[in-house]
């Protein structure tokens, strides 16, 4: 390890939304840093100007703020190793590229696009790997100077020299080897003067004292180029850990074509940040002991890079839904109350129209039945307004010829009785059924339909207690009239 204190980074490109795969990479870096008393840096890799999207950086920052992942350094916070936007570090990359040229580890290349296309076509026809042929490596210093002075467009390429295999240790994958003849003379500085990812990330990771590079599997094939650059500069290499791919249920790579992949999409659909973080944490890592429900403190306490799996992780929406319901279920009443109040505005309800004690009871009785907070309004709208219609299937199945008369009798009993708790409603319903000479079910099902408009939900007597005696009597009489 380069430093005693681990330093990791998440380095996205501002090309659009925050992908859930990016969230997982950022989360693993965050968990590793916090578990090991280290630091996490946000660095924006915006050197590919053709892919730059206006406002994307702000979107990334907003998504991380919502998720609760806080960076120690970054473009919005500053730090001792900035700037943290690569487009503001071009002079730094130019300096190190020239250093490589002087040592013979990189070289100028002046090829035209036409020549490169011809080379690709020729290699493809021979079924050979498309690689640069070092054509301009052998230009004389005078030839190079003349071309540079004449303003001939050029790039700077890595000089992959013959030698043994490039070998490095990966925390997730163990020993990884690449034959040198499979490694291309990668462009390091493009014709527009901007660096490619390969040079910029190695230089920045070194200068920012990054000790562990934790990133997606898609960068594994680029790592030998980075290892060569570390060797060419004479720098210590960080520890590498390449995370498994995220897969659709059909084992194809997770993509927008088969579903939502943006963090913002899941936020807008009502997933809790705690549940989404819990879910993506389990996409490639397991803390063991069948532990699945975790808050952020649990994740930090249990996280180990060595327990990250090699195999691709399947994105299972049912698992995410289950975790979301579990996180709702375990919220305390006061937190649920605030969440409920915040959600009410989206369903045309005014929280000030309801007593807090009433909303607390609703929050508590429904929390085991909800996957999303909006389910309070979609699955139990009767807590917020009297039903204006009744489920026709339930009516056909449960509403009999005598139901109106039976429940009107019950309404009289409730109205004249003293009390209002569950026991009051249950005892009087059973007494009424007995006086009518019918089973309690002859009243239970019609009453549920009368007060809720549907046939499912919490226990009937819990619903009645929450609604209160006056409201229950009113709804029973309304339903008896409408459904008789």
Distance of CA 221 to the CA centre of its chain: 25
Of 475, 482, 6, 43, the residue nearest 239 (C-alpha) = 6
DSSP 8-state class, residue 195: B
Asked whether the beta carbons of 55 and 15 are under 8 A apart, the reply is no
Asked whether the beta carbons of 176 and 33 are under 8 A apart, the reply is no
Distance separating alpha carbons of residues 86 and 106, to the nearest angstrom: 21
* Residues involved in catalysis: 256
Distance separating alpha carbons of residues 308 and 173, to the nearest angstrom: 9
3-class secondary-structure state, position 355: coil
Give every CB contact of residue 245 below 8 A, 6+ residues apart in sequence.
Answer: 216, 217, 218, 253, 254, 312, 313
Phi and psi based region of residue 55 (left: phi greater than 0; alpha: psi -120 to 50; beta: remaining): left
3-class secondary-structure state, position 19: strand
Q: Are strands 174-178 and 166-170 parallel, antiparallel or unpaired?
A: antiparallel
Structure tokens at 243: 């995370």
Distance separating alpha carbons of residues 256 and 158, to the nearest angstrom: 34
Structure tokens at 420: 């209002």
Distance separating alpha carbons of residues 450 and 43, to the nearest angstrom: 59
Distances (CA, A) of 113 to 118, 120, 132, 383, 431: 9, 11, 12, 68, 91
Whether omega for the bond prior to residue 83 falls within 30 degrees of 0, making it cis, is yes
Asked whether the beta carbons of 214 and 28 are under 8 A apart, the reply is yes
DSSP for 44-73, please give it: B----GGG--TTHHHHHHHHHHHHT---SB
Q: Phi and psi of 36, rounded to 5°?
A: -110, 20
Q: What angle do CA 169, 171, 173 make, to 5 degrees?
A: 75
């Amino acid at each position: 390890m380069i430093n005693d204190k681990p330093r990791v980074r998440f380095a996205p490109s501002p090309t659009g939304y925050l992908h859930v795969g990016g969230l997982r990479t950022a989360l693993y870096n965050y968990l590793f840093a916090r578990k090991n008393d280290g630091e996490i840096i946000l660095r924006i890799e915006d050197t590919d100007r053709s892919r730059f999207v206006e406002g994307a950086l702000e979107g990334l920052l907003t998504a991380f703020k919502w998720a609760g992942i806080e960076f120690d350094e970054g473009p919005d916070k500053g730090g001792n190793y900035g700037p943290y936007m690569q487009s503001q570090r071009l002079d730094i990359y130019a300096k190190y590229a020239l250093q490589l040229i002087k040592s013979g580890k990189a070289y100028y290349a002046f090829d035209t696009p036409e020549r490169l296309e011809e080379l690709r076509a020729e290699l493809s026809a021979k079924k050979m790997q498309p690689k640069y042929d070092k054509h301009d490596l052998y230009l004389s210093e005078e030839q190079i100077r003349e071309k540079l002075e004449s303003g001939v467009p050029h790039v700077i390429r890595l000089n992959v020299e013959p030698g043994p295999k490039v070998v490095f240790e990966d925390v997730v994958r163990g020993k990884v080897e690449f034959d040198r003849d499979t490694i291309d003379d990668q462009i390091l500085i493009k014709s527009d003067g901007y660096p490619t990812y390969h040079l910029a990330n190695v230089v920045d990771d070194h200068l920012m004292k990054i000790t562990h590079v934790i990133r997606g599997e898609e960068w594994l094939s680029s790592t030998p180029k980075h290892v060569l650059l570390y060797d060419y500069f004479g720098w210590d290499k960080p520890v590498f850990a390449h995370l498994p791919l995220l897969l659709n249920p059909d084992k194809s790579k997770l993509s927008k074509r088969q579903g939502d992949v943006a963090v913002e999409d899941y936020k807008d659909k009502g997933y809790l940040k705690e549940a989404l973080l819990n879910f993506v944490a389990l996409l490639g890592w397991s803390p063991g002991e069948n532990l699945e429900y975790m808050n952020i403190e649990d994740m930090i306490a249990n996280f180990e890079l060595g327990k990250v799996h090699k195999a691709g992780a399947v994105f299972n929406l049912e698992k995410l839904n289950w975790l979301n319901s579990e996180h709702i279920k375990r919220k305390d009443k006061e937190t649920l109350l605030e969440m409920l109040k915040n959600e009410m505005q989206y369903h045309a309800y005014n929280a000030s129209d309801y007593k807090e004690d009433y909303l607390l009871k609703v929050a508590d009785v429904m929390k085991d039945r909800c996957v999303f907070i909006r389910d309070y309004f979609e699955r139990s709208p009767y807590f917020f307004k009297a039903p204006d219609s009744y489920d026709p299937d339930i009516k056909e199945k449960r509403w009999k010829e005598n139901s109106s008369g039976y429940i009107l009798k019950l309404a009289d009993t409730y109205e004249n009785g003293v009390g209002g708790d569950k026991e009051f409603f249950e005892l009087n319903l059973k007494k009424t059924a007995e006086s009518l000479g019918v089973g309690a079910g002859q009243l239970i099902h019609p009453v549920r339909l009368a007060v809720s408009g549907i046939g499912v939900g919490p226990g009937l007597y819990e619903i009645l207690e929450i609604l209160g005696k006056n409201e229950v009597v009113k709804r029973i009489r309304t339903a008896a009239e409408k459904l008789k």
